[in-house]
Chain A
Amino acid sequence: MSVPALTDAASPAIAVAGVYVNIGKACLLHDVTFEVARGDWLSIIGPNGAGKTTLLRALAGGRRSEGSVIVGGADPARLRPRDRAALVAVVAQEPMLPDRMRVADYVLLGRTRFVPMFGVESTTDLDVAGEMLQLVDLAGMGNRPLETLSGGERRRVAIARALAQDTPMLLLDEPTTSLDVGHQQEVLDLVDHLCRTQGLTVISTMNDLTLAGHYSHRLLLLHRGRAVAEGDVADVLTADIVASVYGARVRLIDTPDGPAVVPTRRGHLAPVDPAEQEGS
């Protein structure tokens, strides 16, 4: 198999330089440049319509772009699906979880790149899928139909499928959307654990700035298709930047995990107890 190897340990996992995405006359991404080191977790943040998902699609090779997108040493848009699937696994914002499909069968879909076109899964594939279910704490639920899972379980089963793909990079589109705070933490703790223990490189788009700052190592802020800030959490998450890009009134409260971004009511600037607001 001609999977481009991650040859040089020092080279970045992802290098994006001068990338544009145009659809008709609409410019969705404008001259975006950034790099992600191996084992890092970068969150792409920005208001709705800023181009977060478009950028994620370009990284996954599903969106044609101008400029240079190098993922694991290759341009994902030029790779065959099977080779691309060896580099990056994607968890969509609303993963399609077919009704009446069993959890085990769904996780096994992640092994597609290891299965010949005219074939079925090997025992290795079954073993790996079982391990991944265990890793996301869904062991013993292999026979459950997907539609019986809770919101948090649905995200975890989608992540288990992505992990079964056994790639060095994981792309997560809004992994916490529509989850309650407990399930949000559950999913992000899992990704954090994988990032630390498996050396996964993670790129996620995030709407919740506080969670983005607490969990990811670096942030990339998009605004109208342009990268307006990139770097460590403390450099990107400032009250000024958030106020100007999101058009929002916020105050930042330092917590041991990083800044908490707290929206404030118009004309209402009463002190906020950080302990109460954390993780909201």
Chain B
Amino acid sequence: MAPSRLAARWVALGFAAVIAAVLAGLTIGPAGVPAGRALAEVADHIPFVDVDSGLSRSQAAIVWDVRLPRVVLGLLVGAMLGLAGGAYQGVFRNPLADPYLLGVAAGAGLGATLAIVSGLSDVSGPLDPLPLAAFAGALSAVALTYLVGAGGEERRSPATLILAGVAIAALLTAVQTFVQQRHADTIRQVYAWILGRLTTVGWSEVGVMLPYVVVVSVVVLLLRRSLDVLAVGDEEATSLGLPVDRIRTIVVVAASLGTAAAVATSGLIGFVGLVVPHTVRLLGGRSYRTILPMSILLGGAFLVGADLLARTVISPAEVPIGVITAFFGAPFFVVLLRTRRAGPV
């Protein structure tokens, strides 16, 4: 008698994908730094490792202060979105659930728009208030959704919360559109933010993102068995002894916090949170013991790969990364859906 566990070959595949994405992200770029030397430069920063990369100061700075933080941020944001999507799909037993389900996107969009039109975000650098405004907007939206959707003793169901999210998102999007129309001069700026990007200012964004990814991953991964129990529905899960409401609240709060942090640092990058967990589910089975850790690894690898394309296809200009994730994610997912037996959540 053996339970389904995370298979070693999946872990190996996940780490292989992450390593491949990181190596590509570090070595490919417009600055013409030789690949081997770029890797040597990174290795030189590992404690007790002393390698002479032979790069000039500016080349070394490109590798260490531009490419590496961007790659690491891509890993963190992709991991967060993949994990949050998988977690939402689990607690809501809804295959369409994505990290932006409960109004996170609309709230962040409104927050960011307000920051941009008010001119606050003209301060650039680590003191940029735009991410803070987006973060505050995202959290307020989720709080509002929860207040509306989970309030009231009776008739509380996961569907109520999702519908409340749809309503709040519509409301906030309306406000955001109105504000945007009133300030047409900033429309490009707002638009660029909404489509998402992984530009970094040194390591500060990574520093913001890292604690969220660590804490949220630990909390949600510890609840992986509970998410499997939820597959039999709220009533049966409760009769098995699972505190369903408490589990759902913990997972939703954790995933929403993480998503808000991701949105604040890199805008609204679509499709990762929807497609990555479903891809894992189609290939590796329905247990969240596999779906959650693999969504972390493959979400990170996917986003780093997408970012590589975003900054190279029309170099030196950049394509918004949200365009890349949808352009490549959608056809891939369609092929997968048609060739694999579709499994519900």
What is A's interface to B at a CB cutoff of 8 Å?
A: 60, 62, 80-82, 84-86, 88-90, 92, 95-102, 104-105, 108-110, 112-113, 115, 117-121, 126-127, 129-130, 133, 142, 165
Verify if B158 is at the interface (C-beta below 8 Å from A).
Answer: no
Q: State the Cβ distance, A222 to closest chain B Cβ, in Å.
A: 21
Verify if B132 is at the interface (C-beta below 8 Å from A).
Answer: no
Taken together as a complex, chains A and B put the C-alpha atoms of A274 and B75 apart, in Å, by 73
B233 touches A105 (CB 8 A): no
A126 touches B3 (CB 8 A): yes
Verify if B238 is at the interface (C-beta below 8 Å from A).
Answer: yes
User: Contacts A81-B241, A112-B242; is A99 near B344 (CB within 8 Å)?
Assistant: yes
Interface stretch among B66-74, B218-226, B320-328? Answer: B218-226
Closest residue to A85 on the B side, CB-wise?
B241
B239 touches A104 (CB 8 A): no
Taken together as a complex, chains A and B put the C-alpha atoms of A31 and B143 apart, in Å, by 43
User: Contacts A84-B241, A99-B344, A120-B225; is A109 near B232 (CB within 8 Å)?
Assistant: yes
B243 touches A82 (CB 8 A): yes
B223 touches A104 (CB 8 A): no
B1 touches A117 (CB 8 A): no
User: Contacts A81-B242, A81-B244; is A101 near B231 (CB within 8 Å)?
Assistant: yes
User: Contacts A62-B238, A165-B240; is A115 near B1 (CB within 8 Å)?
Assistant: no
The interface residues of chain B lying within 8 Å CB-to-CB of A98 are 231-232, 286, 344
Closest residue to A101 on the B side, CB-wise?
B286
Closest residue to A120 on the B side, CB-wise?
B225
Interface size class for chain B?
20 to 34
B223 touches A62 (CB 8 A): no
User: Contacts A92-B236, A96-B233, A98-B231; is A81 near B225 (CB within 8 Å)?
Assistant: no
Q: Which 4 A-B pairs have the closest CB atoms?
A: A85-B241, A130-B1, A113-B241, A118-B222
Closest residue to B224 on the A side, CB-wise?
A120
Verify if B4 is at the interface (C-beta below 8 Å from A).
Answer: yes
User: Contacts A98-B286, A105-B287, A115-B225; is A133 near B236 (CB within 8 Å)?
Assistant: no
Taken together as a complex, chains A and B put the C-alpha atoms of A215 and B287 apart, in Å, by 38
Taken together as a complex, chains A and B put the C-alpha atoms of A124 and B222 apart, in Å, by 20
Verify if B228 is at the interface (C-beta below 8 Å from A).
Answer: yes
B228 touches A80 (CB 8 A): no
The interface residues of chain B lying within 8 Å CB-to-CB of A142 are 1-2
B232 touches A62 (CB 8 A): no
Taken together as a complex, chains A and B put the C-alpha atoms of A120 and B236 apart, in Å, by 19
Taken together as a complex, chains A and B put the C-alpha atoms of A60 and B286 apart, in Å, by 29
Closest residue to B341 on the A side, CB-wise?
A100
Q: State the Cβ distance, B166 to closest chain A Cβ, in Å.
A: 25
Taken together as a complex, chains A and B put the C-alpha atoms of A258 and B331 apart, in Å, by 64
Taken together as a complex, chains A and B put the C-alpha atoms of A62 and B240 apart, in Å, by 12
B241 touches A86 (CB 8 A): yes
Closest residue to B4 on the A side, CB-wise?
A105
Taken together as a complex, chains A and B put the C-alpha atoms of A113 and B226 apart, in Å, by 11
Partner of B228, one of A86, A109, A130: A109
Taken together as a complex, chains A and B put the C-alpha atoms of A60 and B236 apart, in Å, by 11
The interface residues of chain B lying within 8 Å CB-to-CB of A120 are 3, 224-225, 289
The interface residues of chain A lying within 8 Å CB-to-CB of B4 are 102, 104-105
The interface residues of chain A lying within 8 Å CB-to-CB of B238 are 62, 81
Taken together as a complex, chains A and B put the C-alpha atoms of A104 and B4 apart, in Å, by 8
Binary CB contact string for chain B from 196 to 236 against chain A (1 if under 8 A, 0 otherwise): 00000000000000000000000000111110110111011
Partner of A127, one of B1, B224, B237: B1
The interface residues of chain A lying within 8 Å CB-to-CB of B344 are 98-99
Interface pairs (24), CB distance under 8 Å: A62-B239, A80-B243, A81-B242, A84-B241, A85-B239, A85-B240, A85-B241, A86-B241, A89-B239, A96-B231, A96-B232, A97-B232, A100-B285, A100-B286, A101-B287, A104-B3, A105-B287, A109-B232, A117-B247, A119-B222, A120-B3, A120-B225, A133-B1, A165-B241
